[in-house]
Every structure is written in structure tokens, then in C-alpha cells.
Amino acid sequence: MADIEDILRVERIETDIYRGGAFESYLRRTFGGQVAGQALVSATQTVGDEFAVHSLHGYFLRPGNPDIPAVFLVDRIRDGRSFVTRRVTGIQDGEAIFMMSASFHVTQDEGIEHQDRMPPAPDPETLPDRIEEYGDDANAVLKEWANFDLRVVPPDQMVTSDYFAAQQRVWFRYRKPLPDDQSIHVCTLAYMSDMTLLGSSKVPHPGVEPQAASLDHAMWFMRPFRADDWLLYDQTSPSAGAGRALTQGRIFDRNGRMVAAVTQEGLSRTGRLMPADQHARTDR
């Protein structure tokens, strides 16, 4: 698998037009986190250093082809003193495959502060490394994410609440050291945030493998962090029905600081099943 720095590197081909790379993939559809990450990097290229992204909202419109590059068109919606807004459209073969709005905020603002407490979870080092656990038997998705260390908290080590319909927790990090540039860590987390989240909707339905696809994805970034250090992804799925599942995630660093929040709706059809290695990038 290519390094995340290569995956997130985009080429400027004209003013506000960028091209992401295509990389050898185990998946039949481009991983959604790759498209979102490249789109966010493209938007960031058009914003001054005094701004940092604080939120993004994206829609997966069509399945991407991992064998060809995607082109990203950036629209400069607004340039304000405190906030900057960009809209990005990802295109392959003349068709939009992804659309994102991203908002950037000046980094020196101040205000009130509070956050949720991080839920209890075992130390990530005490949990099995899934790549080492499965070895050559790892499926296409795990092989695609070989540069990422993902460790799922077992159900018998979860402290849960009866008020939530579905809960899942995952420790994750990028395995290799990353530069200190915070924008690299933010864009890497945008890539990582699409990992495992939709799976939280399957927790109450053991043995059921619905046709799954990310439909839309939103993120909020609260505090600086490192994507090459352990982050706890606390995931819930408050509702599923009519072939769609809503999922939510709170991301904490190892010191208990809440660094990001994610909401995603995904396809969760039953009756039309697909191989898991397609990772849900299906024609809808």
C-alpha cells in the first residue's frame, strides 16, 4: 500500500484545479477516505496558513475507479476575516464522484471550553494487531489498510450504556511517523475516519452482512492531535432503517482530549449482498 503522504499529495494543474494520484488497490472501488482526504488537501491548498479546517461535509455520489486519478475542482465560496469556505467536486471520466464543503477558521480565536469525557477502554497495546492476527488470511480491506493499526475493543471489555442502540470502540493510528505539519494529521484523520464507522451499525445484527456504502460524511475538528499516535474512535449507531444506517463517532487522543467528531450515513440494504472487498463503493 502507498504511504499516506503519497496518497494525500495532489498536483496543481491549474488555478483551483488539482489532481490526486491513483494507487494500486485491493478494492474494486476507491476507498471513500482517499477521495475525502484528497479533496480536503485540495481545499487546504487554496487557504492561508492562518486558517485551519474545522468542519467538512461530503457526499459520495458515484463509486470511484481506483485505477485512474480523480480531479478536484475547488470553488472559493467565501473569504472572511475569521472563516473561509470552500466547495470541492471530485471528478472521474467527466462525472462527479464526490462533493465536499469545508470551512476553515482562524487558529488564534478564543472562547469557552468543555468536552465529553473519554469512555473507558483497554490500552491499545493489550489488543491484537489485526494484520498480525490474520496474516495471509487478512481480507482485502485489512490489506488495503495495512499501514494503519486498527484494534477493535472486544465486547466483553466494553463499558456500554443501555440508552444506545449500537456501540463499538476502535483504537487506531497511522503506523509510520508523520511530519509535524498539523494539516497532514487532519487530512490523514479524514482518510481514517471512514474506517470501521459504518460497521458499528452491524453490532446489534450478528451474522447479517448488508450491502454497505458510505452515503455522506461530516467531520468537526476541535483540537490538535497526531494521527501517528493512538486515537480512540468511540462509535455509535443511533438508528437504522429503510436501507440506511446513521453512525456517529467521537475521536479522543490517548490523554482523553476530544479531537474530532464524525457523523456518517451509509447504505445498509439486506437482500442484495456484495463481496466485502468491494468496501461498499457500489452503484446505488
Residues taking part in catalysis: 194, 214, 264
Fill in the amino acid letter for 229. D
On the 0-12 / 13-18 / 19+ scale of CB atoms within 10 A, 164 is middle
Cα→Cα distances 30→33, 59, 109, 190, 211, Å = 9, 14, 37, 15, 16
Task: Render the burial of 221-241: b for 16+ CB within 10 Å, e for the rest.
Answer: beeebbbbebbbbbbbbeebe
Spatial CB neighbours of 248, under 8 Å, sequence gap ≥ 6: 235, 236, 237, 238, 261, 262, 263, 264
Query: Mapping DSSP to helix (H, G, I), strand (E, B) and coil, where does residue 136 land?
Result: helix
3-state secondary structure of 273: coil
Residue in 280, 139, 142, 162 with CA at minimum distance from that of residue 214: 280
Max Cα-Cα span within the chain: 53
Q: Which of 213, 168, 219 shows the shortest CA–CA distance to 37?
A: 219
